[in-house]
């Protein structure tokens, strides 16, 4: 990740940010003439996210894949292998996250054991709060290391640690043993929030990014919801520790599959690769000499550029590169550790918190997560009381609706976001502007505002509403959470791919802090001012931040360029 000539993990230059300094020489007649710029002077100095995505109706592959079949460019992995990697990462993610989050369904079985041992309710609550803290800590520690030494050793170590932590939890004999095991498990599972997405963006192209992120998120929710529903029945039949043995088995399987089928995906690329052109083709470096300013360069129409497209991509160069083999994929350390990149990643994490568009996406994610937590905290109590009178064992069945919503989110959010950027690029002479992804943000934002206001009225007067109103809010909010996460993450990585690791750390950290701050006193607010005003205020704050998105849609390009220039 050095930020200029080679950009580790991503770093794109855009259609207008090629700085060219002309060389001046004396001609035979004594007059000053302009000579051809040196290659180093023709290299783009920074990248702000604008790139050539379509040429002649064809989709350009961004980043440009190399001819290296081995050491290897992960973009050249076969389709089946990429899909297998998604499946393995999903298995790892649910093994960790469900182990941490499903405790709410098991707490009624755990509390009697601990109360007999004199453990207080506050201590029991630590089983929830401390693991969440270690989730954030795990991201901050693992991402810089993954940038420095590679993704594979970190994801392998995380799988091993998660397996050991699940065994610790399953064999625990007291509260402190249990708490320690859950904290270790959370630290190991943290990579499913950031590093997992970084691996996915390593192996897929820009025009596939949102749908892949959404498939990952939907599969995770679908399996997680199913396991949560089964948790209470399993604990009742076999004891609550049996739940941890299930995840020991799942994480053990993920560990083995990761070793054999998840190769190293970190790959350094020249900055031109993220513009959509062949970095090895020198014609791509020629400046547009007629330009009158940086923004005048029209790469899609400049003379000579060649592009790798979906139908026409570089063939594997087996003359200069070795062929990728099953054995070569098993290497744990593919790259020589570069610890300076570790410090650079930490620096970038600090820098992205100063990017206005990163903060906007992160705070929006946090606001909607906080509202969702507030809903999750209160809906069960309403359903088990009149007028609904649900049985305690039936409350978890509300998760069934999320299975359908998770499936619908793939076309409604992932596919739509990728479709929008392709069609927008075709109308814009082939040029992709990351802000176009925000069009797909409209559906989750409007949904959030409607559901938030509706929930306040349902809480105030439940007798006026069918129980489906609550189910619709609880399950429908999944569209909101997935939409703002998938679209926002894809937008930011499109804008600053060289900061992908830092962005993927900043988002969950900010989301957790803002969500916690918003939801912490929800029950107090409801008691003091009522549910209508409480959720009305939540909706108003969310609407205000949504309106800032309109400004960002039109002015985001200038913001991106300024941030890219300041951090080059």
Show Cβ contacts of residue 440 under 8 Å, excluding neighbours closer than 6 positions.
210, 413, 416, 417, 420, 483, 487
Residue 54 forms part of a structural domain: no
Residue 41 forms part of a structural domain: no
Q: In this structure, are 460 and 551 located in the same domain?
A: yes
Residue 55 forms part of a structural domain: no
Q: In this structure, are 253 and 359 located in the same domain?
A: no
CATH of the domain at 383: 1.20.1250
CATH of the domain at 126: 1.20.1250.20
Residue 96 forms part of a structural domain: yes
Distance CA 151, CA 130 (A): 26
Q: In this structure, are 438 and 550 located in the same domain?
A: yes
Output the CA–CA distances (angstroms, integers) from residue 532 to 331, 444, 459, 548, in the order listed: 57, 21, 8, 25
User: Are the C-beta atoms of 134 and 195 separated by less than 8 Å?
Assistant: no
Residue at which a domain ends, from 218, 244, 266: 266
Per-residue pLDDT of the chain (568 residues; tens, 9 = 90+): 333 333 444 333 344 444 444 444 444 455 544 444 454 544 556 788 899 999 888 999 999 888 765 557 899 899 999 999 999 999 999 999 888 877 777 777 888 888 888 888 778 878 877 887 788 888 889 999 999 999 999 999 999 999 999 999 999 889 999 999 999 999 999 999 899 999 999 999 999 999 999 999 999 999 988 888 888 788 888 888 888 999 999 999 999 999 999 999 998 888 888 887 655 443 333 332 333 333 333 333 333 346 788 777 766 666 666 777 888 888 999 888 889 999 999 999 999 999 999 999 999 999 999 999 889 888 888 898 899 998 876 777 888 888 899 999 999 999 999 999 999 999 999 999 999 999 999 999 999 999 999 999 999 999 999 999 999 999 999 999 999 999 999 999 999 998 999 999 999 889 888 988 888 888 889 999 999 999 999 999 999 999 999 999 999 999 999 998 887 7
Residue 250 forms part of a structural domain: yes
Distance CA 440, CA 255 (A): 35
Q: In this structure, are 377 and 257 located in the same domain?
A: no
Q: In this structure, are 396 and 527 located in the same domain?
A: yes
Taking the model in full, what pTM does it have? 0.84
Overall domain count for the chain: 2
Residue 177 forms part of a structural domain: yes
Residue 109: domain span:
74-266
Residue at which a domain ends, from 266, 293, 312: 266
Q: In this structure, are 350 and 249 located in the same domain?
A: no
Tally of CA atoms within 13 A in the half-sphere of 404 that contains its CB: 9
Residue 291 forms part of a structural domain: no
Q: In this structure, are 250 and 382 located in the same domain?
A: no
Q: In this structure, are 432 and 351 located in the same domain?
A: yes
Residue at which a domain ends, from 243, 266, 289: 266
């Amino acid at each position: 990740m050095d930020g200029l000539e080679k950009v580790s993990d991503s770093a794109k230059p855009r259609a207008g940010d090629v700085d060219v300094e002309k060389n001046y020489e004396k001609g035979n007649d004594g007059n000053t003439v302009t000579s051809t710029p040196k290659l180093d002077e023709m290299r783009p100095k920074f990248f702000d996210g604008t790139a050539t995505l379509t040429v002649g109706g064809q989709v350009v592959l961004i980043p440009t894949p190399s001819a290296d079949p081995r050491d290897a460019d992960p973009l050249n992995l076969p389709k089946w292998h990429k899909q297998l990697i998604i499946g393995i990462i999903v298995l790892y993610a649910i093994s960790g996250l469900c182990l941490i989050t499903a405790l709410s369904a098991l707490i009624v079985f755990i509390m009697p054991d601990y109360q007999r041992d004199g453990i207080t309710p506050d201590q029991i609550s630590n089983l929830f709060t401390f693991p969440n803290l270690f989730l954030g800590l795990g991201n901050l520690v693992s991402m810089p290391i993954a940038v420095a030494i590679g993704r594979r050793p970190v994801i392998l170590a995380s799988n091993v640690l998660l397996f050991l932590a699940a065994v610790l939890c399953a064999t625990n004999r007291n509260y402190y043993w249990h708490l320690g095991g859950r904290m270790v498990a959370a630290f190991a599972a943290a990579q499913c929030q950031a590093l997992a997405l970084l691996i996915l963006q390593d192996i897929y192209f820009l025009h596939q990014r949102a749908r892949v992120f959404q498939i990952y998120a939907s599969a995770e929710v679908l399996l997680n919801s199913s396991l949560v529903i089964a948790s209470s029945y399993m604990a009742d039949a076999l004891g609550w520790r049996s739940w941890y043995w299930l995840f020991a088995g799942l994480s053990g399987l993920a560990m083995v599959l990761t070793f054999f089928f998840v190769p190293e995906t970190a790959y350094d690329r020249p900055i031109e690769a993220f513009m959509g052109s062949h970095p090895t083709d020198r014609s791509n470096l020629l400046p547009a000499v007629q330009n009158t300013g940086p923004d005048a360069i029209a790469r899609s129409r400049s003379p000579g550029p060649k592009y790798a497209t979906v139908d026409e991509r570089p063939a594997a160069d087996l003359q200069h590169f070795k062929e990728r083999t099953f054995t070569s994929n098993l290497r744990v350390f593919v790259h020589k550790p570069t610890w300076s990149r570790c410090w650079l990643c930490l620096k970038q994490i600090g820098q992205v918190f100063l990017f206005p568009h990163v903060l906007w996406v992160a705070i929006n994610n946090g606001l909607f997560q906080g509202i969702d937590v507030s809903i999750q905290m209160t809906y069960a109590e309403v359903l088990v009381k009149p007028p609904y009178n649900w049985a305690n064992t039936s409350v978890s069945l509300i998760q069934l609706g999320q299975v359908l919503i998770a499936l619908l989110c793939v076309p409604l959010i992932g596919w739509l976001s990728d479709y929008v950027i392709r069609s927008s690029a075709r109308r814009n002479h082939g040029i992709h502007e990351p802000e176009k992804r925000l069009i797909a943000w409209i559906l989750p934002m409007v949904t959030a505002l409607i559901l938030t206001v509706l929930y306040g009225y349902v809480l105030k007067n439940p007798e006026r509403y069918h129980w489906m109103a609550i189910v619709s809010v609880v399950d429908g909010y999944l569209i909101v959470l997935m939409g703002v996460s998938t679209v926002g993450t894809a937008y930011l990585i499109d804008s600053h791919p060289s900061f992908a690791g830092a962005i993927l750390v900043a988002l969950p950290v900010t989301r957790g802090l803002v969500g916690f701050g918003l939801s912490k006193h929800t029950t107090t607010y409801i008691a003091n001012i009522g549910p209508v005003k409480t959720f009305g205020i939540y909706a108003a704050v969310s609407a205000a931040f949504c309106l800032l998105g309109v400004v960002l849609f039109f002015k985001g390009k200038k913001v991106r360029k300024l941030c890219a220039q300041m951090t080059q």
